[in-house]
Each structure stands twice: as structure tokens, then as C-alpha cells.
Amino acid sequence: MAVLLLADDDSGGDGPRPLTSEEASRLAMARFRNYEARGRAVTITVPGAAGELTVTGAVDYRRKVGYGVVHGTGRNESSDGLIQWTPTSVRVHPMADAPAHAPASPPRSGWHDRPPLASGSALDTALSIALGLGGDRPDNAELLSQNGAAWWGRERVNGERVDVMTGPSSPDRSGTAGNVRYWIDSDGTPHRVRVTVESQPEPVVIDFDTHPYVPVKPLPTAAPTR
């Protein structure tokens, strides 16, 4: 499924500027809103020199597991198929003719298990980012403001009016404020997140609620990749 990286034309504002206290409170709620919802439907767009990958599926933010289907654009179909991932594993089911959406009940066989790659894989980085967008408590709004989070403007995403905000610098890497951009609605629910990834010319984009959410079901035991 193709995902537009540009929001609908309804931008406004004089950003960037520091967050107001109300904006900081909404940004602080973003990851908790995903956790509160239990899970969200996601479309993850992953850049790459060999062509773009799109993961269409769902993330369960209570169990920290994602499931979906991978399609390549402008590349061969070697990466196409089903995928389920957690913080400690990536399980893939290659398919020559991958469906538009992953089946609600995953196949019982044909899965292969591998550890996630800490570097060198834009896909694995994107999967990890998607899992990290849920938390069991709100973030500290005051620290967000103190560490460089900013407001950039207002736009529409899939018909929803949202505020565009950038996150703070990473605690262990100064000067990284703005590497993560959020499209947040009036109650703090994120509709899009865009993340700058090292070594990639284009950002990873995660769009929420692009299709109906289907709860993630457990997989059978997978064969280890040799």
C-alpha cells in the first residue's frame, strides 16, 4: 500500500518555536496513547538504496510485538512476505506473491527466525522504532521542552487536523533534536512519525490507522535461520 509522505495541504503557523506547556503535555502523551489503545494499525515506509520497503500491519503495544506484510518498491521481490517482530527477534515468511494485507491467522509453517540487526539494516531499525512508539506511562513534558522539542506547524493527515512537533535531543547524543517528527492530534494521539535514520538519505515514516487494526496473534515455533 502506497503511503503519502506529505500531509494534506492545510499547513499553518510560524514554527519552529518552543512548545507551549499544553503542546508539551500532548507530545508527552503520544507513546502512552498507543499503549492505552493496546495496538495500532501501521504502515511503515523504509528507505533503501536498493528500493523502498513497505510494511503494512499492526503493532501490539502491550505485548511489544508487530505483524504484517512486506512489499518492495523499485526492487526485486526477495524481501516480500510476512513478518513478525519483537525487541529480540524477527520472524519472516517469504512469499513470491505476498498479499496486500497479512492474514489475520498467520501460516503454521514456513517461518524463519533471526535476531534483529543492531546496525546496517534500515528495515530492522524501522521495526524497532515502531515498537518503541508505545509506553506504559506518559513521558516527562517538562524535559521534552528543556531538551529542544519544538512546534513546527499545523497540517492534516488522513483528514485529521494535527500539530507537527519535533522531539528532543537523545539523552546520549546532543544535537539530535528534530530527528524525530510527530503529527499529533488534540488529545495527544500520533497519526504519523518520521525518523531520520543514519546512512539513509530519506527518513523512516510510520503512518497510523491507514487500515483496520487486527490484533496480533502468536506464531508457531519458527525454524532458526542457518
Report the SS3 class of residue 216: coil
Rounded Cα distance between 221 and 161, Å, is 43
For residue 184, give the amino acid letter: I
The confidence score (pLDDT) of residue 5 equals 35
The confidence score (pLDDT) of residue 3 equals 35
Residue 2: is its pLDDT beyond 90?
no
Query: Of 66-75, 103-112, 123-132, 184-193, which range is least confident?
Result: 66-75
- Among 34, 18, 21, 17, smallest CA distance to 138 is for 34
Residue 35: is its pLDDT beyond 90?
yes
Report the SS3 class of residue 108: coil
Rounded Cα distance between 98 and 77, Å, is 9
Most confident of 143-147, 162-166, 171-175, 220-224: 162-166
Dihedral in degrees, nearest 10, Cα atoms 102, 103, 107, 113 = 30
- Among 78, 76, 54, 61, smallest CA distance to 1 is for 54
- Among 2, 8, 22, 3, smallest CA distance to 165 is for 22
Mean pLDDT in residue range 14-28: 93
| pLDDT > 90 fraction of the chain, expressed in percent and rounded | 71
For residue 145, give the amino acid letter: S
Mean pLDDT in residue range 181-185: 97
Rounded Cα distance between 91 and 223, Å, is 9
The confidence score (pLDDT) of residue 14 equals 73
Name, in order, each residue with C-beta under 8 angstroms of 95's C-beta and a sequence gap of 6 or more: 69, 80, 81, 82
Residue 4: is its pLDDT beyond 50?
no
Name, in order, each residue with C-beta under 8 angstroms of 211's C-beta and a sequence gap of 6 or more: 1, 41, 43, 56, 101
- Among 213, 215, 218, smallest CA distance to 111 is for 218
Mean pLDDT in residue range 34-53: 93
Count other Cβ atoms within 10 Å, centred on residue 157.
22
| pLDDT > 70 fraction of the chain, expressed in percent and rounded | 86
Q: State residue 104 phi and psi, 5-degree precision.
A: -60, -35
